[in-house]
Amino acid sequence: MWHLEDKYSGQPTLSKYDDLAKEIPDSDALLITTLDDIAWLLNLRGNDISYNPLFFSYLLFHKKANGEHCVDLFIDATKLENVADYIKSIRANVHSYDSIKTFIASVEKGTKVTVDPANCNVMLNNALKEAGLEVKCSGTNLVEHLKARKNPVMQEGMKQ
């Protein structure tokens, strides 16, 4: 794993958290299951998939009223050894990849969690409902919309 520096991404992760929080005004959290969206949001890259800078993971983004948004990242923690300090700086709590279902069961009942139904698998969708969470369907991939807004650094990177 490696951190994609701001000079390449054009936007620090914590700033992306702020933008994402605005996309879910009626929710407490957003479950992200698409690998490219997780990599983009966290400004991280990996090599789990040949010819793609992605890594296997799930992410639960937590919107906080005080602006101290944070995430729970479900991944093989050994992959993060090179970026351990960065992970702490972006308020990411690391959990094993296979523990997501157990974690969801521990989330406070009634928590409003937004999901993109086109990208949330049945296992996770059922886990959210079984946990007594209020599932809100976005109808669209919210992170993808943020990724589409290219800042000048991203625009230059695309040209290169």
Q: Would you place residue 68 in the very low, low, confident or very high pLDDT band (cuts 50, 70, 90)?
A: very high
Summarize pLDDT for 143-156 with one digit per residue, the tens.
988 887 777 777 77
Summarize pLDDT for 129-142 with one digit per residue, the tens.
999 999 999 888 99
Summarize pLDDT for 86-100 with one digit per residue, the tens.
999 999 999 999 999
Residue 112, pLDDT > 80, answer yes
Amino acid at 89: S
Q: Would you place residue 116 in the very low, low, confident or very high pLDDT band (cuts 50, 70, 90)?
A: very high
Residue 10, pLDDT > 90, answer no
The predicted structure's pLDDT at residue 146: 85
CA 88 to each of CA 20, 28, 131: distance values in angstroms, whole numbers, following the listed order: 19, 21, 28
Helix ranges, 3-151 (H): 6-9, 13-23, 35-42, 84-89, 100-106, 122-130, 142-148
User: Can you say whether the dihedral through the CA atoms of 1, 102, 24, 116 is positive or negative?
Assistant: positive
Q: Are strands 112-115 and 29-32 parallel, antiparallel or unpaired?
A: parallel
Q: Are strands 70-74 and 92-95 parallel, antiparallel or unpaired?
A: parallel
Give the global pTM.
Answer: 0.93
Cβ count near 93 (within 10 Å): 14
User: Mean pLDDT, the chain, as a whole number?
Assistant: 93
The predicted structure's pLDDT at residue 44: 98
